[in-house]
Structure 1
Amino acid sequence: MSVEQLVHAFPRPRRPPVDAGWVRAETDRVLADFLREQAERASDRCLPTLVAVITDFLDGGKRLRPIFCHWGWVAGGGAPGASAVLHAGAGLELFHTFALIHDDVMDCSALRRGKPTVHEVLATRFRDDTDAEAAHRFGMNAAILLGDLCLAWADDLLQSVAAERGRSPRVQPLLHEMRTEVMVGQYLDLGGEHTDSPLDRSWRAIGCKTAGYTVEKPLQLGAALAGADEDLLSWCSAYGRPLGEAFQLRDDLLGAFGDVAVTGKPALDDFRDGKQTVLMGLTWERATPRQREVIRRRHGDPHLDEEGADELRTVIRETGAEASVRRLINDRAAEASLLLARPDLPDAAAEALAGLVGQVTRRTR
């Protein structure tokens, strides 16, 4: 029997269809290989332990950024499931990990994805378990370094893929813009800039911190790596911005009304921190004097209990802010969905991106 006959008689198993689950699994595989390599070639014996902390923290993520990067790549004419875009997606996930680690430090959050945050984990490694304050300080400082390490490794992965594809001139400005926007958005989220109203500042923070690096930039990076022209990159922005805003608006609702058993984050964190979300900005603008007094008393109270949180939730509902945010989410989902009628968009990309609209706007965690 000839080689050709053997191939037809015993065909190679078909690769499973490329969908969000497949991209998520392959991203995890690339990340595991990359982190294992970093541990094996470590310059100091402390690094494998730190890699283990990062690996554990990565477990349970939604991998939305690698998924959007993948479908941006396909939209730009790239082959589904290609190694280059999977490595770029892994780089984006490490960038997201850096952002989350630092965000948890700045918010002093205790939980992420239902597990202790990185600074809490690292605090337990402090040499003196009798000095709680020093252990906490060590955990915070070490987490900042670990976040920086994830940022550096993210850059290594993304830059190397761009160089190998000969796309550095197209990719570099997108990476620069993404990094800068996240830093600016985090600054606004912390309460920087008091020249605008809290609501205006919240919208600006969403645009920089979340909308850009969750949907828009991953899409654009994938498309740019595949060789897309400026017209398609603009389309990625037009689709990605409203959907990224919807993602954050949904996050705001989950922060106020979500089930901690599902979200994996303490239900009262946003209220106790006095987080200036669009949801709370709308609530304040529409509140009566009596309702504003409740907000002043309860929003930002570090000792807030469930009874106090319920008072805030009642005000949010009574002002119509919750219903307005739900409408804003639906409007932005519709805006993104309409753009999927683009004639030259590959069917596989259009179908996947349509499904992602629902996943982003109806998520429970």
Structure 2
Amino acid sequence: MANHTLEGNRLETIPRQPVSQPALINAVEGTLADFLACQIAALDAVDPALGGFARTARDLVMAGGKRLRPTFAYWGWRGVTGAAEPVEVVLPALGALELMHTFALVHDDLMDESDTRRGRPTAHRLFAAQHGAKFGGSAAILIGDLCLVWADQLLARTSLPATTLLNVRACYDRMRIEAIAGQYLDVLGETDPDSWSVERALVVARHKTASYTVQWPLGFGLALAGGDPRLEEAYREYGLAVGEAFQLRDDMLGVYGDPAVTGKPAADDLRTGKPTTLLMLAHQLATAEQRAELTTDLAGAVIPAEGSGELNPIARRARLITETGAPARVEEMIRARVAEGVAALADAPIHSDVRTALVELATAATQRPA
């Protein structure tokens, strides 16, 4: 495998253990870039338009991001293998998680009609600018599908025994199914918010985000290492707790995040009426008067003139949610889940550096500004 990535993001050497976080990300991105260069060349040879299509997919994959999923998978693997095992063997599998993640993001952005992601136009907006909205939506679906197929192809390049790869694949398939199930419930919630509750919002968080961001990437890493029954329960408890906390932070950023930092439009969740845990808690804690205002449809709301000093409807709703005390309650839930996740590792038979890394990741993933 060539030891470099595309467009100047150069990886001078594939790192040996122990691997720092920047080196790990660089290695994963190098693996992705080399793989994607071959895929682009193959499609370019069929038709230049397909090459352009594949380059758009490549750009979406390589457009930054936290790379949390391969990071959690790496530490899940390291928890068994220790520091002496070279990381090269699992890099294709770690890269496959980022391709799967891009598939999920592209489809999610289309369903949410989001304009930006990571500070750039979303896939459907990029294509819509070329040939209109219908083409944009269709092309975005195909981009997501292509990334999912690429994920399968890259995962298959992992040089491990067939029995190990079968177990890895089983974990990978369950991760995908749970992510799709959670996404369906997320979409359903927007169409039927009256039937939603805090408990159901947490089910969505558990499946749409926790399982495929933390829990199953850790399990995926464990499977890459050949498994260890002593770690399964600790990884599961940590993964669910930290994964839910990750989604709860996302709920907060969806209302109060700074678009310049998050790279996504402000208050998208409020605009679409997404029944997040934050919004469900606000309904639960609100007075009758506050609840009536929270259920007001924002469609067609009049935006006050600039300089009038009057808050726009979205900003008013965000302030109202704050007044219910729901954000403070969500912050408590985040802290409790991080503590629960960290406690799950206390007696796990893993090296101290792995435990330290996972504790630091729990904090970084849940106290982030974007």
TM-score by structure 1 length?
A: 0.88
In structure 1, distance between residues paired with 2:159 and 2:182: 26
Corresponding residue number in structure 1 for 2:115: 110
Question: How far apart are 1:36 and its partner, in Å?
Answer: 0.3
2:70 aligned with 1:66: yes
Q: Name the residue aligned to 2:176.
A: 179
SS of the equivalent of 1:275 reads coil
One of 146, 151, 163 as aligned partner of 2:148: 151
After superposing the two structures, state which structure 1 stretch, 155-164 or 257-266, moved more.
155-164
Q: Which residue of 2 aligns with 1:23?
A: 24
Q: Distance in 1 between matches of 2:197 and 2:221?
A: 34
Aligned to 1:263: 262
* Mapped partners of 2:17, 2:90: distance in 1: 17
In the other structure, the counterpart of 1:191 is: 188
- CA deviations 1:147-204 (Å, max 9, x no partner) are 0010111122224427656413322321221111111101110125969533232111
Deviates more, 1:278-287 or 1:18-27: 18-27
Structure 1 residues 37 and 14, CA, compared in 2 at 3 Å: closer, same or farther? closer
Distance in structure 2 (CA, Å) of the matches to 1:165 and 1:362? 39
Give 1:267 shift.
0.5
Aligned partner of 2:55 in structure 1 is 52
Equivalent pair of 2:16/2:87 in contact (CA under 8 Å)? no
Structure 1, residues 237-270: CA drift from partner, whole Å, max 9, x if none? 1111100000000000001111111001110211
1:353 partner letter? L
Q: Which residue of 2 aligns with 1:232?
A: 231
C-alpha displacement of 1:20: 1.8
Distance in 1 between the 2:233 and 2:302 partners? 44
Describe the shift of the 1:137–1:356 C-alpha distance in structure 2 as closer, same or farther (beyond 3 A). Answer: same
Which runs of 5 or more residues in structure 1 are unaligned?
Answer: 1-11, 127-134
CA shift at 1:80, angstroms? 5.5
Letter in 2 for 1:256: V
Bigger Cα displacement from structure 2, 190-199 vs 288-297: 190-199
8 Å contact from structure 2 (residues 17, 85) kept in 1: no
RMSD value, Cα: 2.3
Number of residues paired by the alignment? Answer: 345
The 1:297/1:19 distance shift into structure 2, 3 A limit, reads same
Which sits farther off after the overlay, 165-174 or 280-289? 165-174
Residue identity matched to 2:335: N
Give the conservation status (yes or no) of the 8 Å contact 1:210–1:244: yes
8 Å contact kept, 1:239–1:335:
yes
Give the equivalent residue in structure 1 for 2:246. 247
Quick check: 2:234–2:348 contact (8 Å CA) kept in 1?
Answer: no
Measured in 1, the distance between the counterparts of 2:302 and 2:136 equals 25
- Give the structure 2 partner of residue 88 of structure 1: 93
Q: Is the 8 A contact 2:15 2:87 kept in 1?
A: no
Q: Percent identity?
A: 41
CA distance in 2, matches of 1:14, 1:230: 29
Q: Distance in 2 between matches of 1:268 and 1:344?
A: 42
Query: What code does the residue aligned with 1:219 have?
Result: L
Cα drift, residue 60 of structure 1: 1.6
8 Å contact 1:18–1:80 — kept in the other structure? Answer: no
Deviations 1:208-253 (A, max 9, x none): 1000000011111111111122332222111111000000000000
Amino acid at match of 2:118: R
Question: Quick one: distance in 2 between partners of 1:344 and 1:89?
Answer: 23
- Distance across 1 between alignment mates of 2:50 and 2:357: 38
Counterpart selection for 2:166 from 159, 169, 173: 169
- SS of corresponding position for 2:312: helix
Match of 1:6 in 2: none
* DSSP 3-state at the match of 1:266: coil
Among 79, 100, 104, the residue aligned to 1:75: 79
CA distance in 2, matches of 1:228, 1:340: 17
Give the letter for the 2:31 counterpart. Answer: V
Shift of 1:15: 5.7
Q: Distance in 1 between matches of 2:232 and 2:163?
A: 17
| Residues 98, 343 of structure 1: alpha-carbon distance in 2 compared, 3 angstrom cutoff | closer
Conserved 8 A contact 2:15-2:23: no
